[in-house]
Amino acid sequence: MGADVVTVVQCEAWVRRFADLIAEHRVELTELDSAIGDADHGVNMDRGMQAVRAKLDAEAPTAIDELFKLVGMTLISSVGGASGPLYGTFFLRFGTACGSGDTVSSDELVKAFRAGVDGVVARGRPELGDKTMFDSLQPALEALDAGIGAGLSTAFAGALRAAQSGRDQTIPMVARKGRASYLGERSVGHQDPGATSAALLLDAAAAAFDG
């Protein structure tokens, strides 16, 4: 396979790496959420991703759309709060855009990422500066668009940096969405947990699609 083609094996590696990173950062995510949310983001996301892992261990799909349908539906059914529907929608839209084959071109992968982010927007109606996962995902998407000509590995490395920068920029923001918005100015000074887990999603992708 050329560098411009991604396989279902690499896609599964992305999902598994995301599960690993969520487990590693579960306590941090929950602590961040305890400051401005329900104190359950890390626990909920870890439960969902471990459920995904268990299904993949039992029988991993061989088509990319079916892989991400499994991920999305599992997260929607097993993760509480807003995170399950938002991440679930991301993966469902992503998989649909990839199609039913066992490979996808790098250009199509970026289009699929856009479809996933569009799904998050359709579901949650976030805007940049709202202090949500979108503050990580949208800069990552823009970096992917700008960098894909240099190759998938380079593009996702740039997307990871953009997501991490977006995550960090949530710290001084006043939350305008979700439970954190109830705090008003008291949400300033806290890193958004959703933006943090979204940056981990890009961290996992950068590792899975590196070469």
pTM recorded for the entire structure: 0.94
Tokens of 23: 């487990």
Please give the share of the chain, as a percent, with pLDDT higher than 90: 84
Residue 43 has pLDDT above 80, yes or no: yes
Which phi-psi region, left, alpha or beta, contains residue 184 (left: φ > 0; alpha: ψ -120 to 50)? left
Q: What is the pLDDT of residues 12-24, one digit of tens each?
A: 999 999 999 999 9
Domain extent for 178? 5-208
Place of tokens 């870890």: 46
Provide the pLDDT for residue 99. 94
The count of structural domains within the chain is 1
Q: What is the band of 2 on the pLDDT scale with cuts at 50, 70, 90?
A: very low
Instruction: Check which CATH number belongs to the domain holding 195 and give it.
Output: 1.25.40.340
**Long-range contacts, 125-129 (Cβ 8 Å, 24+):** 126/177, 127/176, 129/173, 129/176
The whole-number average pLDDT for the span 131-155 is 96
CB-CB contact of 80 with 72 (8 Å)? no
pLDDT at 193 over 80: yes
pLDDT of the residue at 175: 87
For residues 131-145, give the mean pLDDT.
97
Interior angle at CA 83, CA 88 and CA 95, nearest 5:
15
Any bridge partners for residue 7, and if so which? 103
Res. 199: pLDDT tops 70: yes
Whole-number pLDDT of residue 211: 64
**What's the mean pLDDT when you consider all of the chain?**
93
pLDDT digits (tens, 9 = 90+) for 61-120: 999 999 999 999 999 999 978 899 999 999 999 999 999 999 999 999 999 999 999 999
- 189 falls in which pLDDT band (50, 70, 90)? confident
pLDDT tens digit sequence for 153-187: 999 999 999 999 999 999 999 887 777 776 778 77
Residue 210 is predicted with a pLDDT of: 85
Whether 1 shows a pLDDT value over 60: the answer reads no
